[in-house]
């Protein structure tokens, strides 16, 4: 199983969009500042999971992650979050 996820950091009022095959491990990495990229690493422990989608294969997850990122819109992300409630 693969996951597309959105994290939110209230302190800096930012979202992070990613995908992974191991959601629990990836979230733990973000919280410990062990992420590969600098975006979440510099905000250690401040990221909270706010959205998740499941996919059966990696390619679908990658495509969906890119689809969300291409929007580059806070409004679009907030619409996704509202639909899930």
In tens, the pLDDT along 64-80 reads 999 999 887 888 888 88
pTM above 0.75, yes or no: yes
**Beta strands of 1-85 (E only): which ranges?**
2-9, 14-20, 48-55
38, pLDDT greater than 60: no
Q: Where are the domains of the chain?
A: 2-84
The domain over range 2-84 is classified in CATH as 3.40.1440.10: yes
- Cα(59)–Cα(32) distance, integer angstroms: 27
Asked whether 7 and 44 are in contact (CB, 8 A), the reply is no
């Amino acid at each position: 199983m693969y996951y597309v996820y959105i994290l939110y950091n209230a302190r800096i009022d930012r979202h992070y969009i990613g995908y992974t095959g191991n959601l629990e491990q990836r979230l733990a990495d973000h919280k410990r500042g062990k992420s590969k990229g600098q975006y979440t690493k510099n905000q250690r422990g401040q990221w909270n999971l706010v959205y998740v989608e499941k996919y059966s294969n990696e390619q679908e997850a990658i495509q969906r992650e890119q689809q969300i990122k291409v929007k580059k819109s806070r409004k679009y992300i907030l619409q996704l979050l509202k639909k899930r409630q």
